[in-house]
Chain A
Amino acid sequence: MASETRDIIVNGLWKQNPGLVQILGMCPTLAVSTSLVNGLSLGLATTLVMALANTATALVSRLVPPAVRIPAYILIIATLVTMVDLLMHAYLLQLYLVLGIYIPLIVVNCIVLARVEAYASKHGAFYSFLDGLMMGLGLSLVLAALGGLREIFGKGTLLSGIDLAFGPAANTYVIHVLPHYQGLLLAILPPGAFIGLGLLIAARNRIEQIRALPTRSTGLLPQQAA
């Protein structure tokens, strides 16, 4: 029981991290990670959908005929995403104004379908929920790290855009990491996303290498790379 839970957490956040190890869902990941706030926002929205989609799939998986399981799963995911989109627009307007444009992107994020197919269709509702949550959080961490890196090198700031979530007063939260910085366009443009992701993957691999050297230490939740 407990070890299953722990495995799911370790897999989602580190061992099978969707962004750094499975390399799934790259299209929205690379497109949206232009700033810390953007990256984290998309990550959290994806996390919500993954947890819901995994739970829903686990509950109905026995009713899904194997031959048409992929269309059925896509149907479940698309329905959930649209419902989340409508409900947020109606009842969480402030949050919707920040996340709204990213939510439809989640349907085409293949990490959602990958977890539904690989995990939720074969496991119970609780573990599936946990798997979706942890995989989503793992992706969120990568998106936040990548967004943060690109924002610092591209614009010299951190947390720009936070005022959309917390009102104009939050403008003071914006950190000017590099004052009088001219900006590096490369970091903001798509190549910056590829280079940044490559660096993060390299950093994660290096940490794994070092950990594997002295003794095969297992069990401890490793520190995040960035």
Chain B
Amino acid sequence: MNEYLRNVKLTALALLGFAVVAAVLLAGTFGLTRPSIEKSERDAKIKLIAQVLPAGGYDNDLVKTARSLPADPLLGLKKPGEYYPATLAGKPAAVVLEAIAPDGYAGEIKLLVGILPDGRLTGVRVTAHSETPGLGDYIDIAKNPWIRQFAGKSLDSPKPDDWRVKKDGGKFDSMAGATISPRAVVKAVKQALDYFARHQTELLVQEEIHGQ
């Protein structure tokens, strides 16, 4: 019996030892790579924000003037996010909102939605998603230009009832066999526009204050 207990103890200790070594290795790698990863994520975000807005349509540093966006079900945000007011010569030129489509095929789809003061979309980009590679991932600009179709759309055009993929009777293209991801994106973009319509004054007024 003693022998048996001794064995169990040794086994447990050995596994504990492995776990400790693994934890140290992981913590070390994490610490070592963290600054570099954060920088590349920030760069990628700046690039995406810039893609959402028309080139030359703004002259402020978007990341520096970012403001916090309260958690709101319309935007799919469970935690406060950020929005990026774009100004040209101090006047509001557009605003980029963070939004999340919670109902993707494989979890959340994170979006950046660019909106002009008159409510027209300047563009939409997916910043993070886990949709099926080769099937639902065409919502990502890196895989397919699908997401470009949002540019120029607004709540008036197409009509609110047409803010659906064509398969559901709406006006937005999707690929046969992979409609869940685009459906989630279309819905989230429409809700972001709804949010903008409701909070337009504060989103745009704040920009003016900032620009002055």
Binding site for B on A (CB under 8 A): 31-32, 34-35, 38, 63-65, 67-68, 71-72, 75-76, 78-79, 82-83, 86-87, 89-91, 93, 97, 101-102, 161, 164, 185, 188-189
Give the segment of B9-17, B58-66, B71-79, B204-212 that binds chain A: B9-17
| A101 CB contacts on chain B under 8 angstroms | 130, 133
Is A32 in contact with B134, judged by CB distance below 8 angstroms? Answer: yes
| Known contacts A82-B29, A90-B37, A161 near B143 by CB under 8 Å | yes
Does chain A have a CB within 8 A of B22?
yes
| Known contacts A86-B37, A93-B40, A65 near B134 by CB under 8 Å | no
Contacts A72-B15, A90-B33, A189-B177 supplied; 19 other A-B pairs, CB < 8 Å: A34-B135, A68-B11, A72-B14, A75-B19, A76-B18, A78-B22, A79-B25, A82-B29, A83-B26, A83-B29, A86-B29, A86-B30, A89-B40, A90-B34, A91-B36, A101-B130, A102-B133, A161-B143, A188-B177
Q: How far is the CB of B126 from chain A (nearest CB, A)?
A: 13
Going nearest first, the 10 A-B pairs with the smallest beta carbon separation are A34-B134, A90-B33, A90-B36, A65-B11, A79-B22, A86-B33, A83-B29, A68-B15, A65-B14, A86-B29
| Known contacts A72-B18, A101-B130, A89 near B37 by CB under 8 Å | yes
Those of B96-131 within 8 Å (CB) of chain A: 130
Number of residues on chain B facing chain A (CB within 8 A): 27
Residue of B nearest to A73 (CB): B18
| Known contacts A31-B132, A38-B134, A75 near B22 by CB under 8 Å | yes
The B interface is mostly helix, strand or loop, or mixed, namely: helix
| B22 CB contacts on chain A under 8 angstroms | 75-76, 78-79
Does chain A have a CB within 8 A of B176?
yes
| A83 CB contacts on chain B under 8 angstroms | 25-26, 29
Is A34 in contact with B29, judged by CB distance below 8 angstroms? Answer: no
Q: How far is the CB of B3 from chain A (nearest CB, A)?
A: 14
| A76 CB contacts on chain B under 8 angstroms | 18, 22
Does chain A have a CB within 8 A of B142?
yes
Is A71 in contact with B15, judged by CB distance below 8 angstroms? Answer: yes
| A90 CB contacts on chain B under 8 angstroms | 32-34, 36-37, 40
A87's partner among B33, B132, B142 (CB-CB below 8 A) is B33
Q: Once the chains are docked, how many angstroms separate the CA of A75 from the CA of B33?
A: 21
| A89 CB contacts on chain B under 8 angstroms | 33, 36-37, 40
Q: How far is the CB of B158 from chain A (nearest CB, A)?
A: 27
Q: Once the chains are docked, how many angstroms separate the CA of A71 from the CA of B176?
A: 42
Q: Once the chains are docked, how many angstroms separate the CA of A64 from the CA of B13?
A: 11
Is A79 in contact with B26, judged by CB distance below 8 angstroms? Answer: yes
Residue of B nearest to A66 (CB): B11
Q: How far is the CB of B133 from chain A (nearest CB, A)?
A: 6
| B32 CB contacts on chain A under 8 angstroms | 90
Q: Once the chains are docked, how many angstroms separate the CA of A166 from the CA of B29?
A: 27
Residue of B nearest to A71 (CB): B15
Q: Once the chains are docked, how many angstroms separate the CA of A185 from the CA of B22?
A: 43
Is A87 in contact with B29, judged by CB distance below 8 angstroms? Answer: yes
| Known contacts A64-B14, A71-B15, A87-B33, A34 near B133 by CB under 8 Å | yes
Is A32 in contact with B133, judged by CB distance below 8 angstroms? Answer: yes
Q: Once the chains are docked, how many angstroms separate the CA of A189 from the CA of B134?
A: 9
| A87 CB contacts on chain B under 8 angstroms | 29, 33
Q: How far is the CB of A124 from chain B (nearest CB, A)?
A: 20
| A34 CB contacts on chain B under 8 angstroms | 133-135
Q: Once the chains are docked, how many angstroms separate the CA of A191 from the CA of B40?
A: 37
Instruction: Find the residue from B18, B25, B37 having the highest chain A CB count within 10 A.
Output: B18
Q: Once the chains are docked, how many angstroms separate the CA of A72 from the CA of B130?
A: 29
Residue of B nearest to A104 (CB): B130
Is A97 in contact with B142, judged by CB distance below 8 angstroms? Answer: yes
Those of B1-58 within 8 Å (CB) of chain A: 10-11, 14-15, 17-19, 22, 25-26, 29-30, 32-34, 36-37, 40
